Structure 1
Amino acid sequence: NGIVSNAELLEYVKKQSQAYCAAQSQCQGLDPQLEVNYALLGASASSPTVSATDTQQQTPDYGRIEEVKVEDTAQTAYVAADPVDAIGDILGKAESGDVAVALSSDHLKNGDSFRISVTSRTGGHLILYDVDTDGKATQIFPNEAAQKITRLAPGTPITIPDDYYGFDFEAEGPSENVLVAIVVADDVDLTGVAPTGYGLTKELDARTTIADIAGTLKQTWTRDVENRSVNWSLGLMKYTVH
């Protein structure tokens, strides 16, 4: 989207470090870290371009970028103005195709009932959010309505809500949203940032919520022989309600 965020830069450095280490005969692993306020993960790693239309007073060419102040930091941050576009910047990781998200209908109108399915090539714990252009996030999963919350099995889809919920989702529009599915293979404790009680009913700030998730997943995994990054996969699906 024209922004190279701090999170995207970190993921790039991680991949390049791993490639370098794999080519060396004596390299026990490299796991680059980024010490930054989680709220800055989605911020541009460099200043935005400057418009020279006014030679007396040059100003940033914002376009789809907005300037924000982040609490407890003196740094000016430039982020994607559209919260839906900002999600990829905050998470930083490119989709690999390991996580697929689908809706029960390809064409949604206001008031239509629908369900969401998520399928992952690898097993893990699922976190699923719906983010709208107003910056509101709804935690679809985990939630208190699910009778049993377990790890996703590889290749086995989960449908939300399923028949045991006793209800379907109802589309609200017009709107443009993105579904954010994160599957975490490692046993990372995410109850502090994605508790079950947030599910379905609590209105969340999308940028803050996704940043807290991303920051937690970017910590070093220390429970193997060698320290490494946390294993997690991402699936995004943009959809429109007419």
Structure 2
Amino acid sequence: MKTGYLKAFAATMCLCLSAGTVHAAQKALLIGAGVYPYLEPDAQLSGPANDVRQMADFLKGDWGFASSDVRILVEEGAAKNNILGSITGWLASETRPGDRVIIYYSGHGSQVPDRNGDEEDGLDETFVPTDYGRRGARAEDMLTDDEIASALSTLKGREVILIADSCHSGTVNRDVVPDLVSKGLDAKARYLPFSGVSRSLPVVRDEEPLARETNVHLTLSAALPHQLAWETNGSGIFTQNLIRGLRTREADLNGNGRVTTAELLNYLRPRTEQWCQRVEDCRDLQFTPNMSPRNEAFILQPASAEGPVQTVTGNTADDVSDVLPEQSSQEIKVSILPGSVHQIGDEVQFQLTSAVDGYLTLFDLTVEDDLVLLFPTDEDRSAGKTGRIRANSALTVPDPSYGFSFEAEAPAGKGKLLAIVTEDPVDLENLLAANGEFEPIGDKIDFMKELSGRLNKVWTADNANRSARWAAGYQDYEIRQ
């Protein structure tokens, strides 16, 4: 049987960093809530003011923001009315539909009882402004997601990016928020428990709370629902890695000169999770950055004539890998037999080895830039081949039981294979079943966006939320005349 031949896939949201001439207006509101004059000493944070300074330096130095484009609210300036007024006043008056707005918050997050019945779990997510506590522990003095959504409604038509280096973990109370300073560790959780909230068991949620309440283009947050965000050495760990990944382009995982949101998410998560594994008090709840939406493909760059936020709409292998970058590729070995260079008409097999037990999905991104599902196909399912792959045990496609072979076909050129192994049983069944006939997938970028969104979902089957475990690797090939 013939396929177009090898090449891979990718899906997510795009974040491109090349500086250029700024055409559309762009404004940034940067909020650092670290000094709380009405709260006890152990509630104080050393990092938010530093985070805001670093973010301002990045926006002005790397993304071309003018000083007048950036408003900073820190310490007493990060009071509730100042924050809301800066959104509904300054941002609303200084921008117009089509402009880009970045709102960045660094500080404590919390949860309080829902006041209008719109929350399934009965809780509103909040930011904690620095004037909280002046009248005691009153929920109405926090800044709720409903209030943020109402303020953002004044920015209708703007392309809003909301970044939060905080958390909203309703599974913890003040007694269990770690005091690592007393243990000789310079690390602190960015969560302020509210005395009116109690819960014996966590409500597990596969969505970003602030994104659910607010109509924004992109939400980036330091931690999944019911996790803690952390700071160390006077800066938020999420913010440190976010700025580093963008400024140095370490987050450009496929090396094509632009950073996509999929690449950024897959750059951030291993770094925060690895830090968390070194800190005993972090391990129970984990520390996993989140993004919403996860099934889009935005190109984020200095605002241009084409618009401040663009989407991946191309048709090349680079576009695909911008949406679905390599992830833990060392855990997958993809071999093309008898080699990666073939003549038209040569028979080929693909041999795959995984470091972990899981489920294999194999795609061909062909010489003609088509995307074809190679495994598991309809025929594989009919033959009882579910895609299960055992650790360190080679799986060959097609094997002798197929009764046919794959053949390298014209035109000549270069392509890629994409192999994905999901260690967790991520639900890809209906997505793959709809494309299992060895035919090019109709809209491969939309397909990849959906696939990437499912792979990057919140895994809720364990006691603590975390990212789903999967690996993806690409393998180049060439077909010659």
- With the shorter chain as reference, the TM-score category is 0.7 to 0.9
Give percent identity, aligned residues only: 28
Could you tell me which residue of structure 2 aligns to residue 100 of structure 1? 333
Could you tell me which residue of structure 2 aligns to residue 152 of structure 1? 389
Deviations 1:21-44 (CA, angstroms, capped at 9, x unpaired): 34545332122211126231xx43
SS of aligned partner of 1:4: coil
Structure 1 position 36 matched with structure 2 position 273: no
CA distance in 2, matches of 1:32, 1:239: 34
Deviations 1:52-90 (CA, angstroms, capped at 9, x unpaired): xxxxxxx7xxxxxxx8x9xxxx942256x5621223221
CA distance in 2, matches of 1:38, 1:119: 28
Could you tell me which residue of structure 2 aligns to residue 202 of structure 1? 439
Structural RMSD (CA): 2.5
Gap change, CA 1:133 and 1:84, over 3 Å in 2: farther
Deviation at 1:200, TM superposition (A): 4.5
CA distance in 2, matches of 1:208, 1:175: 25
Scaled by the length of structure 1, the TM-score of the pair is 0.80
SS of aligned partner of 2:361: strand
SS of aligned partner of 1:201: coil
CA distance in 2, matches of 1:96, 1:131: 17
Deviation at 1:133, TM superposition (A): 4.7
For structure 1, the residue ranges without an aligned partner over 5 or more in a row are: 51-58, 60-66
Could you tell me which residue of structure 2 aligns to residue 140 of structure 1? 374
Deviations 1:134-179 (CA, angstroms, capped at 9, x unpaired): 3311100111222222410111111111111111111123121110
Could you tell me which residue of structure 1 aligns to residue 355 of structure 2? 121
Deviation at 1:105, TM superposition (A): 2.4
CA distance in 1, matches of 2:424, 2:294: 23
- Structure 1 outlier segments of 4+, above 4 Å: none
CA distance in 1, matches of 2:418, 2:325: 13
Gap change, CA 1:16 and 1:193, over 3 Å in 2: same
Deviations 1:181-232 (CA, angstroms, capped at 9, x unpaired): 000011121112211x523422203322222211101110000011111010
Scaled by the length of structure 2, the TM-score of the pair is 0.42
Contact between 1:83 and 1:207, CA under 8 Å: does it hold in 2? no
Which amino acid in structure 2 is aligned with residue 155 of structure 1?
N
Which amino acid in structure 1 is aligned with residue 396 of structure 2?
T
Could you tell me which residue of structure 2 aligns to residue 56 of structure 1? none
CA distance in 1, matches of 2:470, 2:407: 29
Which amino acid in structure 2 is aligned with residue 149 of structure 1?
K
Gap change, CA 1:23 and 1:103, over 3 Å in 2: closer
Contact between 1:139 and 1:198, CA under 8 Å: does it hold in 2? yes
CA distance in 2, matches of 1:230, 1:92: 15
CA distance in 2, matches of 1:133, 1:90: 19
Contact between 2:327 and 2:471, CA under 8 Å: does it hold in 1? no
More helix by share: 2
Deviation at 1:47, TM superposition (A): 4.2
Task: Select 1:7's aligned residue among 262, 265, 272.
Answer: 262
Which amino acid in structure 2 is aligned with residue 29 of structure 1?
Q
Structure 1 position 218 matched with structure 2 position 475: no
Contact between 1:138 and 1:202, CA under 8 Å: does it hold in 2? yes
Structure 1 position 91 matched with structure 2 position 348: no
Which amino acid in structure 1 is aligned with residue 346 of structure 2?
D
Which amino acid in structure 1 is aligned with residue 435 of structure 2?
Y
Structure 1 position 183 matched with structure 2 position 416: no
Task: Select 2:273's aligned residue among 11, 15, 18.
Answer: 18
Gap change, CA 1:154 and 1:37, over 3 Å in 2: closer
Which amino acid in structure 2 is aligned with residue 15 of structure 1?
P
Bigger Rg over Cα: 2
Shifted more, 145-154 versus 85-94: the winner is 85-94
Contact between 2:294 and 2:457, CA under 8 Å: does it hold in 1? no
Gap change, CA 1:103 and 1:16, over 3 Å in 2: closer
SS of aligned partner of 1:209: helix
Gap change, CA 1:190 and 1:35, over 3 Å in 2: same
Contact between 1:182 and 1:232, CA under 8 Å: does it hold in 2? yes
Contact between 1:7 and 1:90, CA under 8 Å: does it hold in 2? yes
Could you tell me which residue of structure 1 aligns to residue 52 of structure 2? none
CA distance in 1, matches of 2:407, 2:375: 16
Gap change, CA 1:39 and 1:149, over 3 Å in 2: same
CA distance in 2, matches of 1:47, 1:110: 44
